[in-house]
Amino acid sequence: MTLDHRLDAEYEELRRTVEQFAHDVVAPKIGEYYEQDEFPYEIVREMGRMGLFGLPFPEEYGGMGGDYFALCLALEELARVDSSVAITLEAGVSLGAMPIYRFGTDEQKRTWLPKLCSGEMLGAFGLTEPECGSDAGGTRTTARLDPETDEWVINGTKCFITNSGTDITGLVTVTAVTGRKPDGRPLISSIIVPSGTPGFTVAKKYSKVGWNASDTRELSFDDCRVPAANLLGEPGRGYAQFLRILDEGRIAISALATGLAQGCVDESVTYARTREAFGRPIGDNQAIQFKIADMEMRAHTARLAWRDAASRLLHEEPFKKEAALAKLYSSEIAVTNAREATQIHGGYGFMNEYPVARMWRDSKILEIGEGTSEVQRMLIARELGLTG
């Protein structure tokens, strides 16, 4: 028996295709979008035409017939150039469309997935709330079923929701308390809310430190009514469903973080070869060489971690711990690599015209979004049998 970590021909072709797209299409344009806080509709449309939003979904729903590993490969290559574009794809697929694919009825899948897979429409994932943060089980948004109209009536607020307010956003799947267990704990369900539904208000974009070319907003629901048929999955199982979605999403975020970390290496190698100080390239200095060597070591190790977690997912093996390990490690080394890349670039690293400045600003959120580093450590400890 042999163990081969190399990509097969199909995966490698995808990786190369996305790599070329990132360098030829994303890199020349994204800086302007980023500095103007504009959503890159043109780039997203091209990603849709390439089939990136449909990578892990079956062809019967308009997908590419690929898998989650293929999605993560694409995310890593995009994030080597820009994280705003990568997070738009990640959230649109793993958080927007995947819950419908995993838990939706046949009718829900036929209704929503074709447009989500084509990139014609974006979906969003409404979980986080202003007063709950990492405590997703503390959901305060409520939904009651009106028996006279057979509609869910939703009230509450969600925050930090990616892809929720673009011109092509078509739906947000929200978690809401729909009842109580005998011991008083909430029953949380998931409900699909189409964009433009009366009572559903999307706030203006946040002013963010990073990810400036992605869409992030607060959402509010004031007696927002949707049909009872918009329930996603089993009633009272919304929390469990989204925990599964978050486990998968952490692999995707790990791939994205790995891409950012590798992008820092790419930019630092190029700069070290061309930037001269005291009559020679700074890359001739051992101090710079060691910094970049350590950066490459971190990115390589992070790649092994997310690929291991993704492999376990594809083989239907337990992957919760491995996903948490990958997300924790890759997000923290992305921050480290971004800091070191900025240091290598010196004053130029503080200038927004250089990609490493954008990477530095984008990296920190990776230790927070889709489960903070502290939450990942809790999950790992629990999987090791440590409770309390």
CA 88 vs. chain centroid, Å, equals 7
Closest CA to 197 of 172, 224, 163, 219: 224
Q: Exactly one of 77, 131, 370, 374 is catalytic; name it.
A: 370
- At 140, the amino acid letter reads R
Q: Any residues with CB less than 8 A from the CB of 329 and at least 6 apart, and which?
A: 254, 301, 302, 305
Q: What is the 3-state secondary structure (H, E, C) of 159-227?
A: EEEECCCCCCEEEEEEEEEEEECCCCCEEEEEEEEECCCCCEEECCCCCCCCCCCCCEEEEEEEEEEEE
Sign of the dihedral through C-alpha 252, 255, 256, 257: positive
Query: Among this protein's residues, is 148 annotated catalytic?
Result: no
Rounded to whole angstroms, how far apart are CA atoms 166 and 177? 27
Angle at 210 between CA 205 and CA 212, to 5 degrees: 45
Rounded to whole angstroms, how far apart are CA atoms 163 and 161? 7
Catalytic residues, by residue number, are 370
